[in-house]
Structure 1
Amino acid sequence: MSDIRTPVLQFGTSRFLQAHADLFFSEAAEPRAVTVVQSSGDPARAARLGALAAPEGFPVVIRGLTDGVASETETRVTSVKRTLSTATDWNALTAIFCSEVELVISNTGDAGYQPRPADFDADFSQEMSFPAKLFHLLAARFAAGARPLTIMPMELVPENGRVLRDRLLAIGTGNRAPAALMDWIAGLPFANSLVDRIVSEPLEPAGAVAEPYALWAIERAPGIAAPCAHPAVQLVDDLEEIERLKLHVLNLGHTSLVDFWKRRGGAPDALVRELMDGPEGRALLELYETEVLPGFAHKGRGDEARAYLEVTLDRFRNPFLDHRIADIAQNHPQKAERRIGAFLDWVGRSGPDMPELHAILKRARE
Structure 2
Amino acid sequence: MSRKIIHIDMDAFYASVEQLDFPELRGKPIAVGGSELRGVVAAASYEARKYGVRSAISGVLAKKRCPELIFMPPRFARYKEISSQIRSIFLEYTDLVEPLSLDEAFLDVTENKKNMLSATLIAKEIRTKIFETTGLTASAGISINKFLAKIASDYNKPNGQKTINPEEVIPFLENLEVKRFFGVGKVTADKMYKLGIFTGGDLKGKTEEFLEAHFGKSGKHYYQIVRGIHLSAVRPDRKIKSISTERTFEENLSSEIFIIDRLESITGDLERRLQKQDLSGKTITLKIKYSDFSQQTRSVTLPYFVSHKSILLENTKALLFQERLKDSVRLIGVSVSNLNDKEHKKVVGVQLRFDF
TM-score strictly above 0.5: no
Q: TM-score of the superposition, structure 1-length normalised?
A: 0.28
Specify which structure has the higher proportion of strand: 2
Specify which structure has the higher proportion of helix: 1
